[in-house]
Protein backbone atom coordinates (compact mmCIF):
# COMPACT_ATOMS: atom_id res chain seq x y z
CA UNK A 1 0.00 0.00 0.00
CA UNK A 2 1.46 3.31 -0.96
CA UNK A 3 1.49 6.40 1.25
CA UNK A 4 -1.37 8.16 -0.55
CA UNK A 5 -3.76 5.20 -0.04
CA UNK A 6 -2.68 4.86 3.62
CA UNK A 7 -3.40 8.54 4.18
CA UNK A 8 -6.85 8.24 2.52
CA UNK A 9 -7.63 5.14 4.63
CA UNK A 10 -6.51 6.99 7.77
CA UNK A 11 -8.73 10.00 7.00
CA UNK A 12 -11.71 7.79 6.11
CA UNK A 13 -11.41 5.79 9.35
CA UNK A 14 -11.17 9.01 11.43
CA UNK A 15 -14.26 10.47 9.71
CA UNK A 16 -16.16 7.23 10.30
CA UNK A 17 -15.17 7.27 13.97
CA UNK A 18 -16.20 10.92 14.28
CA UNK A 19 -19.57 10.14 12.67
CA UNK A 20 -20.19 7.29 15.10
CA UNK A 21 -19.35 9.54 18.07
CA UNK A 22 -21.80 12.20 16.83
CA UNK A 23 -24.55 9.61 16.39
CA UNK A 24 -23.91 8.27 19.90
CA UNK A 25 -24.11 11.78 21.38
CA UNK A 26 -27.36 12.50 19.56
CA UNK A 27 -28.84 9.23 20.82
CA UNK A 28 -27.88 9.99 24.45
CA UNK A 29 -29.31 13.49 24.12
CA UNK A 30 -32.58 12.15 22.71
CA UNK A 31 -32.87 9.63 25.55
CA UNK A 32 -32.41 12.39 28.14
CA UNK A 33 -35.13 14.44 26.42
CA UNK A 34 -37.56 11.49 26.46
CA UNK A 35 -36.86 10.72 30.14
CA UNK A 36 -37.50 14.40 31.03
CA UNK A 37 -40.84 14.20 29.23
CA UNK A 38 -41.77 11.08 31.17
CA UNK A 39 -40.91 12.77 34.47
CA UNK A 40 -43.04 15.82 33.69
CA UNK A 41 -45.95 13.55 32.75
CA UNK A 42 -45.68 11.80 36.13
CA UNK A 43 -45.73 15.18 37.88
CA UNK A 44 -48.87 16.11 35.97
CA UNK A 45 -50.55 12.86 37.05
CA UNK A 46 -49.51 13.41 40.67
CA UNK A 47 -50.89 16.97 40.57
CA UNK A 48 -54.34 15.79 39.46
CA UNK A 49 -55.40 15.14 43.08
CA UNK A 50 -54.56 17.53 45.92
CA UNK A 51 -55.42 17.26 49.61
CA UNK A 52 -55.38 20.08 52.13
CA UNK A 53 -57.30 22.89 53.77
CA UNK A 54 -59.91 25.00 52.01
CA UNK A 55 -61.49 28.28 52.96
CA UNK A 56 -63.66 30.79 51.14
CA UNK A 57 -63.24 34.36 49.93
CA UNK A 58 -64.04 37.35 52.07
CA UNK A 59 -66.80 39.61 50.72
CA UNK A 60 -64.25 42.43 50.27
CA UNK A 61 -62.93 40.67 47.12
CA UNK A 62 -66.32 40.74 45.36
CA UNK A 63 -66.03 42.85 42.20
CA UNK A 64 -62.23 42.86 42.12
CA UNK A 65 -60.15 41.56 39.22
CA UNK A 66 -58.79 38.00 39.59
CA UNK A 67 -55.43 36.67 38.36
CA UNK A 68 -57.18 35.41 35.21
CA UNK A 69 -58.45 38.92 34.46
CA UNK A 70 -62.13 38.25 35.11
CA UNK A 71 -64.10 40.07 37.81
CA UNK A 72 -64.61 37.99 40.96
CA UNK A 73 -68.17 37.22 41.99
CA UNK A 74 -69.22 35.39 45.15
CA UNK A 75 -72.17 34.00 43.14
CA UNK A 76 -70.00 32.08 40.61
CA UNK A 77 -68.51 28.63 41.18
CA UNK A 78 -64.84 29.61 41.13
CA UNK A 79 -61.72 29.12 43.23
CA UNK A 80 -58.18 30.31 43.82
CA UNK A 81 -55.30 27.81 43.80
CA UNK A 82 -51.52 28.23 43.51
CA UNK A 83 -50.78 24.67 42.40
CA UNK A 84 -52.99 24.34 39.31
CA UNK A 85 -53.12 26.36 36.07
CA UNK A 86 -55.73 29.08 35.68
CA UNK A 87 -58.80 27.80 33.84
CA UNK A 88 -58.52 24.28 35.29
CA UNK A 89 -61.84 22.65 36.14
CA UNK A 90 -61.75 20.80 39.46
CA UNK A 91 -64.03 18.86 41.77
CA UNK A 92 -63.64 19.95 45.40
CA UNK A 93 -64.88 17.45 48.00
CA UNK A 94 -65.37 18.31 51.67
CA UNK A 95 -63.75 15.34 53.45
CA UNK A 96 -65.83 15.94 56.62
CA UNK A 97 -69.25 15.47 54.97
CA UNK A 98 -68.58 14.11 51.45
CA UNK A 99 -70.27 17.03 49.65
CA UNK A 100 -68.68 18.07 46.33
CA UNK A 101 -68.74 21.03 43.97
CA UNK A 102 -67.26 21.64 40.51
CA UNK A 103 -65.37 24.94 40.17
CA UNK A 104 -62.99 26.70 37.79
CA UNK A 105 -59.61 27.97 39.00
CA UNK A 106 -59.53 31.67 38.12
CA UNK A 107 -57.35 33.22 40.81
CA UNK A 108 -54.25 32.76 42.96
CA UNK A 109 -53.85 32.65 46.73
CA UNK A 110 -51.42 34.84 48.64
CA UNK A 111 -47.97 33.19 48.37
CA UNK A 112 -47.77 32.68 52.15
CA UNK A 113 -51.20 31.01 52.25
CA UNK A 114 -50.86 27.32 53.15
CA UNK A 115 -54.35 26.37 51.98
CA UNK A 116 -54.85 24.32 48.83
CA UNK A 117 -57.89 26.21 47.60
CA UNK A 118 -59.99 29.29 48.38
CA UNK A 119 -63.60 29.00 47.17
CA UNK A 120 -66.22 31.55 46.23
CA UNK A 121 -69.09 31.77 48.71
CA UNK A 122 -71.48 30.00 46.28
CA UNK A 123 -69.07 27.05 46.01
CA UNK A 124 -68.41 27.04 49.76
CA UNK A 125 -72.15 26.82 50.48
CA UNK A 126 -72.51 23.78 48.22
CA UNK A 127 -70.01 21.79 50.31
CA UNK A 128 -71.08 23.13 53.72
CA UNK A 129 -67.98 25.24 54.26
CA UNK A 130 -69.62 28.53 55.23
CA UNK A 131 -70.41 27.39 58.78
CA UNK A 132 -66.89 26.23 59.72
CA UNK A 133 -64.87 28.60 57.48
CA UNK A 134 -62.06 26.08 56.94
CA UNK A 135 -62.21 22.35 56.21
CA UNK A 136 -60.15 19.47 54.81
CA UNK A 137 -60.77 18.89 51.10
CA UNK A 138 -59.80 16.74 48.16
CA UNK A 139 -59.26 18.64 44.90
CA UNK A 140 -59.46 16.54 41.71
CA UNK A 141 -58.71 17.87 38.23
CA UNK A 142 -61.58 17.04 35.87
CA UNK A 143 -60.37 18.94 32.76
Task: Give the tens place of pLDDT for each residue, 37-71.
Answer: 444 343 454 458 999 999 988 788 888 899 999 99
Q: For residue 21, what pLDDT is reported?
A: 81
Measure the CA–CA gap between 49 and 74, rounded to whole angstroms: 25
Q: Which residue has the higher pLDDT, 8 or 139?
A: 139
Q: Which residue has the higher pLDDT, 40 or 83?
A: 83
Q: Count of residues for the chain?
A: 143
Residues 6 and 32 reside in one and the same domain: yes
Question: Which residues, including other chains, have CB under 8 Å from residue 68's CB and lie 6 or more apart?
Answer: 86, 87, 106, 107
Residues 110 and 41 reside in one and the same domain: no
| Confidence grade of residue 94 (pLDDT, cut at 50, 70, 90) | very high
Residues 53 and 40 reside in one and the same domain: no
User: Do 87 and 68 meet the contact criterion of CB atoms below 8 Å apart?
Assistant: yes
Residues 67 and 40 reside in one and the same domain: no
**39 lies in which domain range?**
1-46
Q: What is the mean pLDDT of the chain?
A: 82
Question: Which residues, including other chains, have CB under 8 Å from residue 134's CB and lie 6 or more apart?
Answer: 53, 54, 55, 115
Residues 55 and 124 reside in one and the same domain: yes
**Structural domain count, the chain:** 2
Q: Kind of pairing, strands 100-107 and 78-80?
A: parallel
Residues 85 and 119 reside in one and the same domain: yes
Looking at the whole model, is its pTM more than 0.75?
no
Q: What is the CATH number of the domain that holds 120?
A: 2.40.40.10
Residues 41 and 57 reside in one and the same domain: no
Residues 14 and 59 reside in one and the same domain: no
Residues 63 and 102 reside in one and the same domain: yes
> Rounded mean pLDDT of 90-102?
94
In what helix (H) or strand (E) does residue 101 lie, and over which residues does it extend? strand 100-107
Residues 42 and 52 reside in one and the same domain: no
How big is the chain by its Cα radius of gyration, in Å? 28
First-to-last alpha carbon distance for the chain, in angstroms, is 71
What letter does residue 60 receive in the DSSP assignment? G
Q: For residue 138, what pLDDT is reported?
A: 95
Residue 116 scores a pLDDT above 80: yes
Amino acid sequence: MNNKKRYQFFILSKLTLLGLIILLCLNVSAQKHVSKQKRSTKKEVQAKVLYGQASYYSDKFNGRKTASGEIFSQKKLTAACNQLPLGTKVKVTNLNNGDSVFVTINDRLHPKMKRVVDLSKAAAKKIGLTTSGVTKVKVEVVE
